[in-house]
A = this chain, B = another copy of it.
């Protein structure tokens, strides 16, 4: 039976052997939620960058540029890190490619590339992720982007939600991280948004836009789409 483990921080990734496994990178607030939304809105592919300057330069190649630092949109780019940037009609995104850099999500992706497959998870595509990893039938590691390396609740809750979806076909009892995430996911029911209002990260983003983003980012199964890493870019898996 394949296993599901959860890595609570990119800083803990050296403890995990990702070879032969599927890595599900998650940064609920808001990188992976926004990337899922972007591809669902017709973006052709996404190239992540760790450096803002390199990201900005992609505009010359026809890319839309998206950047967030410490929770707010960076200067001189087209989009921030809100999923609504791809939905509200302010910027036409259909058929465009996006270059993106974020505080935590990009780093988590880069550190996960030893895995057999790297996909992006969010509540928005929870069911699609569960279907994808069932078809792969390999061990899964959920890689939480966290907040600057620290444990964060929202990414952990996603790990618990995915574990619940994969029961009983995946072993979700072999790691204390997975057991804890399942219990926290249960504790967060029935109102995940209300639960997350107490989290340090959400309170850090304490303004109306952020609360709207958060309410959107906890919707389950809004998109039947899995972003997958292929040749240096994120595309919708076939």
- A residues within 8 Å of B by Cβ? 8-9, 11-12, 14-15, 147-153, 156, 173-177, 179-180, 183-184, 186-187, 198-201
Q: Report chain B residues within 8 Å CB of A200.
A: 173-176, 179
| B173 and A151 form a contact (CB under 8 A) | no
| B187 and A199 form a contact (CB under 8 A) | no
Q: Report chain B residues within 8 Å CB of A8.
A: 8, 151
| A199 and B179 form a contact (CB under 8 A) | yes
> Most chain-B Cβ atoms within 10 A of its Cβ — which of A152, A153, A176?
A176
Interface of A is mostly: helix
Q: Report chain B residues within 8 Å CB of A14.
A: 11
Q: Which residue of B lies closest to A187 (CB)?
A: B183
Q: Report chain B residues within 8 Å CB of A150.
A: 12, 15, 175-177
26 pairs of residues in contact across A and B, judged by CB atoms under 8 Å: A8-B8, A9-B12, A11-B11, A11-B12, A11-B14, A11-B15, A12-B149, A12-B150, A12-B151, A15-B148, A15-B150, A150-B177, A152-B176, A153-B176, A156-B180, A174-B200, A176-B199, A176-B201, A179-B200, A180-B180, A180-B184, A183-B183, A183-B184, A183-B187, A186-B187, A187-B187
Copies of this chain present in the complex amount to 2
Query: In whole angstroms, how far apart are the Cα atoms of A47 and B156 in the complex?
Result: 37
Query: In whole angstroms, how far apart are the Cα atoms of A133 and B177 in the complex?
Result: 28
Q: Report chain B residues within 8 Å CB of A201.
A: 176
Query: In whole angstroms, how far apart are the Cα atoms of A110 and B117 in the complex?
Result: 37
State which of B11, B175, B186, B198 has its C-beta within 8 Å of the C-beta of A173: B198
Query: In whole angstroms, how far apart are the Cα atoms of A81 and B105 in the complex?
Result: 40
| B184 and A198 form a contact (CB under 8 A) | no
Query: In whole angstroms, how far apart are the Cα atoms of A14 and B149 in the complex?
Result: 10
Query: In whole angstroms, how far apart are the Cα atoms of A183 and B179 in the complex?
Result: 13
Query: In whole angstroms, how far apart are the Cα atoms of A198 and B175 in the complex?
Result: 10
| B151 and A180 form a contact (CB under 8 A) | yes
Q: Which residue of B lies closest to A11 (CB)?
A: B12
Q: Report chain B residues within 8 Å CB of A175.
A: 150-151, 200
